[in-house]
Amino acid sequence: MNHILDFDEALKLVQRHAADLHKLETETEPLLHCLGRVLAEPVTADRDQPPFDRSTRDGFALRAADTGTLKVIGQIRAGERWSGQPLEPGNAIEIMTGAPVPAGADAVAMIEHVELQGDSLRLAEGRPLTSGENIVPRGSEARAGDMVIARGTAIAAAEIALAASCGLSGLFVYRRPRVAIVATGDELVELDETPGDQQIRNSNSYALAALAAEAGAEAVRLPIARDRRDDLEKIILKARSSDLLLLSGGVSMGKYDLVEEVLHTMNAEFFFTGVKMQPGKPVVFGRLPASGGFPAQYFFGLPGNPVSTQVTFHCFVAPMLRVMAGAIASPPRFAQATLAEDVAGKPGLTRVLPSHLTYDRVSPQVRIVAWQGSGDLAANARANCYVVLPADKERFAVGEVITVLLR
């Protein structure tokens, strides 16, 4: 039975199912192998950060209340600690960025803001100094034992740096989900074969494998499933050991579009069998029941046209995969920009079109990429995002603020 949802309804439904997923097993990986993984236990600071009152500027450590001429009595470089007595009134110590502020000093005057003459200095005219200026106090970033990275955080370069600052050479992360990828269709050939005039190369399984890897998963590319019920069922059974099943092609209304029919015979539960969007309307989402020693398995049947395949992956599959990888459930990554040109809508369908976004700081603009429909891989490669045109308007004017799906 057909169950076709509005675009936003479908996004929310997938997110609800993703939020109910159980997290996968965990493992410890070397720090630099954790890029793109999801943290399975929080990271805590092993000591105060910073571990001392730290100067944020090259300059002179002094007492903010001191006025007049001060005597420079020494120097502190980064990595050194002042070994003399606490700073007394009337004195100053030259200090480098990152060095510990000596006891007795409560401010750092930037080198650009003082006048030097031999070992004497004065603050430049009109350059007042307040207590605490240009100093980061000990423990102001984190106290020893504080959580600095929460469980469920996707690890990027910033988290790698923070974990390294806590002395961690490895992290406890969630296992990558395994994604079985099945491309369907008699017209497909593998890359090491020479396609006939009526055939095309199996690009979809490579695109899906790359997209799955970007979403934190391990992709398993299975053989092409031909347009026969027995062949499709056999290959789906091979995919049952994976955490998620992705099929491309075979989900439209043609005589040889057999994916839904075969999944029905395997007692699949369907949550939707289409979404009111263009491209990607025939996308299917459901779950196979536990059987043969395998647990229940979610699946997506994605349209076979390459741009449709990738659009529906970004909209529906990627958010679920990120949760399977251990992250907190969240929608696709949307942003807003102004249209660089007039664009036609399609009432009743949300249009998700390959586009190019200029990342201007003040006024980012987005322009639809010229394309020949949902089979145009070259146009999709020229795009760096997708414009999302709501289903309730016929025209969108230049300068109008519009939603953009990032990728």
Round to whole Å and give the CA distance between 172 and 31: 9
28-45+145-174: CATH topology is Molybdopterin biosynthesis moea protein, domain 2 (3.90.105)
| DSSP code, position 303 | -
On the question of pLDDT at 379 being above 90, the answer is yes
Q: What is the mean pLDDT of residues 123-151?
A: 96
Mapped onto helix, strand or coil, the DSSP state of residue 86 is coil
Round to whole Å and give the CA distance between 275 and 277: 6
On the question of pLDDT at 109 being above 80, the answer is yes
Pairing of strands 269-272, 284-288: antiparallel
pLDDT of amino acid 256: 58
Mapped onto helix, strand or coil, the DSSP state of residue 181 is strand
Percentage with pLDDT > 70 across the chain: 99
Which of these CATH numbers, 3.40.980.10, 2.60.40.3950, 3.40.109.10, 3.30.70.2740, describes 4-24+176-324? 3.40.980.10
Cβ(404)–Cβ(331) below 8 Å: no
Q: Which CATH architecture has domain 334-406?
A: Beta Barrel (2.40)
- Rounded to two decimals, the pTM is 0.91
Q: What is the mean pLDDT of residues 155-167?
A: 97
How confident is the model over 26-43, as pLDDT tens digits? 999 999 999 999 999 999
How confident is the model over 7-27, as pLDDT tens digits? 999 999 999 999 999 889 999
On the question of pLDDT at 349 being above 80, the answer is yes
How confident is the model over 174-221, as pLDDT tens digits? 999 999 999 999 999 999 999 999 999 999 999 999 999 999 999 999
- Which residue ranges make up each domain of the chain? 4-24+176-324, 28-45+145-174, 54-136, 334-406
On the question of pLDDT at 255 being above 70, the answer is no
Tell me the C-alpha to C-alpha distance, in Å, between residue 312 and each of 19, 20, 87, 227, 240.
19, 21, 65, 22, 22
Least confident span in 104-113, 143-152, 358-367, 375-384: 358-367
Six-digit token string for 101: 């502020």
Query: Phi and psi at residue 346, in whole multiples of 5°?
Result: -140, 95
Mapped onto helix, strand or coil, the DSSP state of residue 109 is strand
Give the H/E segment covering residue 135: strand 135-136
Name the band, by pLDDT with cuts 50, 70 and 90, for residue 274.
Answer: very high
Domain 54-136, CATH: 2.170.190.11
pLDDT of amino acid 360: 84
